[in-house]
Every structure is written in C-alpha cells, then in structure tokens.
Amino acid sequence: MTSQLAHGREPDRYAVFGSPIAHSRSPGIHAGFARVTGENIEYGTVEPPVEGFAPAVRAFLAGGGRGCNVTTPFKLQALAIADEQRPYAATAGAANCLKFEAGRIIAENFDGTGLVNDIQRNLGYDIAGRRVLLLGAGGAVRGAILPFLEARPTRLAVANRSADEARLLQSAFARHGALDASGLDDIEGAPFDLVVNATSASLFGELPAIPVRLFHDRTLAYELVYGRGLTPFMAFARESGAGRTVDGVGMLVEQAAEAFGWWRGVRPETGSVIQSLRASLPQILET
C-alpha cells in the first residue's frame, strides 16, 4: 500500500450497505485485508432507507465506487438491480456482493462459500461423506445449499419451522442434487455430523425447537450468529452431546475474503483477521 500511496493515487472505494449498519465489522475486516495485501482501498458503511437501496447504490457507483457488500435487509434488492447475476447469487435468489465494471452491476453471493470455507479450511472438518443439517429456510440457507452440495455430503437436509418452506427449497434445488426437507419437529434419520443453525432464533435469545437426537459426540454444531457468546443453540448442542461448537466469526471473514478477492484479484490470508476479530468478541470456551 505504501508504494501505491506514494504515487498519489486515490484509494479505490468500497462499502457495505445495510440497515442498521453501525454494528458492522466489515470495515475493520477489509482494512485488515488491505494491510496484509498492500491493496490501496478505503471501505465505509452506507445505510440507505429501506426503499432507497437502488438509488444509493447507483449514487455510490456514479461517485467512483468499485463495489460493495450487502447485508440485511437488501440482499434481494441487490440481486434485482444487477445487470449480471453470477451463479451462486442467481441460485440463491439473493446477493451479498456487488462489483461495478464499466457502469454495469454484477451480483454474487459468497455467504455459502464463506461458510463452507470456514468449516473445511479453518476448522479442518471435511464435509464430504458427512450427514449435514441446515436449520432454517431463509436467505442464509438458500445461499449455502449449492456450496454444500458441491462439497459432497452423504446427506444434506433442511429443516424449518414451516415444513412447506423447506420443501419449496427442496424443489428449487432439485436439479442440483438431493436435498431432504422437513419441519423442525419431524427430522428423520440418524444423528448428523454437522448441524448449522441458520435460523434467527439466537438473535432473540431463543432456541429452535429441535430434538436432542440430532447430535452425537462427533457432531460439529455451527452457529451462524457471532459475537453473542454461548447462544441457546450452542448450549443445547453441548448438553445434547455435540463434540464441538463454534460461532460464525470465521464465516464472516471468509465471505469477506471471497469478495475482496473478486474485487481486487488478490485473496487475502484470513487466519490473522479471524484471530483478531475473535479476540474482540465475547469468548466461547471450547468443550
């Protein structure tokens, strides 16, 4: 970065769009990536009104912006305004990242890739040959299904409070691979090797209505929520015999690294950024 700045070139501008957005860790994460890669960027936050997302993005583009991350509640709108939809975004029906090229908006979704990367690269947990359960049927699960199918589990299941919504996902992804679907209270089969909580329950201090029998002593219980210490889902998984519990800090950093690499052509190392971010959050003691 020093040599680039020495030549007087203005940094390329990026941002994260969301509402609310003040709590976002993305500026710090991307600043860390810029330091370790030497890329000359600045990264801020934008909080447009709920009905003003598209104009805000176009204004950012017109002002020289090069790309943006997108979080709640704008991921569906981000896909809708794109001139080009990349495969993961199109399949998920939502985008969490936009890149601007020659005035065009290109949409992608790195949520699922970030989750799979964290599980396999950082946690050393190979998904191939495992039984995997995704709890929920919202945007996070939609974004995760295709990357999980590509990781070749022996079984991939989706369970949701509304079984009908889970079955809609089953139909939507049928051409990509086998996906089991059920309600939370009628999940069938043997315990799972990996259980991912992608419901919103932990945001409200609640526990999804799931049975104890989902877990065994080698189960990895993964909580998408981060920064809340031991959530009800994580506590329940431990009490039910899960061998390991972890929150979503690694996913947050990994999806950001995918976006950074897409924008800049350089994928940053993530370990030091994950370590730094985790140290700033409530600690979760390993079992």
Could you read off the pLDDT of 5-48 as tens digits, one per residue? 434 689 999 999 999 999 899 999 999 999 999 999 999 999 99
Give residue limits of the domains in the chain. 2-109, 112-248
Tell me the pLDDT band of 4, cut-offs 50, 70 and 90: very low
Per-residue pLDDT at 269 exceeds 60: yes
Is the fold of 2-109 the same as that of 112-248? yes
What is residue 280's predicted lDDT score, i.e. its pLDDT? Answer: 87
Catalytic residue among 75, 99, 131, 167: 75
Per-residue pLDDT at 274 exceeds 70: yes
Topology adopted by domain 2-109: Rossmann fold (3.40.50)
Report pLDDT digits (tens) over 145-202.
999 999 999 999 999 999 999 999 999 999 999 999 999 999 999 999 999 999 989 9
> Which class for 260: exposed (0-12), middle (13-18), buried (19 or more C-beta within 10 A)?
buried
Mean pLDDT of 94-116: 97
Close Cβ partners of 199 (under 8 Å, ≥ 6 residues apart): 135, 136, 138, 160, 161, 208
Binding residues for shikimate: 24-26, 71, 96, 111, 226, 255
What is residue 10's predicted lDDT score, i.e. its pLDDT? Answer: 92
In the sheet with 104-108, reading across from the earlier edge strand, the strands are 41-46, 12-17, 65-70, 97-101, 104-108, 84-85
Tokens coding 15: 């941002």
E strand residue ranges, the chain: 12-17, 41-46, 65-70, 84-85, 97-101, 104-108, 131-135, 155-160, 180-183, 194-197, 220-223, 244-246
| Cα angle 33, 234, 156; round to 5 | 80
- What is the overall mean pLDDT for the chain? 93
Per-residue pLDDT at 87 exceeds 60: yes
Percentage of the chain modeled with pLDDT above 70:
95
Q: 188, 133, 184: which is closest to 161 by C-alpha?
A: 184
Given the candidates 3.40.50.300, 3.40.30.10, 3.40.50.720, 3.40.50.10860, the CATH classification of the domain at 112-248 is 3.40.50.720
Per-residue pLDDT at 3 exceeds 50: no
Mean pLDDT of 254-268: 98
Per-residue pLDDT at 101 exceeds 50: yes
- Catalytic annotation on 99? no
Question: Which one is predicted more confidently, 32 or 283?
Answer: 32
Mean pLDDT of 261-287: 86
* pTM for this entry: 0.91
Per-residue pLDDT at 77 exceeds 80: yes
Close Cβ partners of 263 (under 8 Å, ≥ 6 residues apart): 14, 66, 67, 99
Burial state string for 136-169 with b = 16 or more CB within 10 A and e = fewer than 16: bbebbbbbbbbbbbebebebbbbbbbebebbbeb
Report pLDDT digits (tens) over 119-138.
999 999 999 999 999 999 98
Q: Name residue 273's amino acid.
A: V
Neighbours of 269 (CB within 10 A): 12
In the sheet with 131-135, reading across from the earlier edge strand, the strands are 180-183, 155-160, 131-135, 194-197, 220-223, 244-246
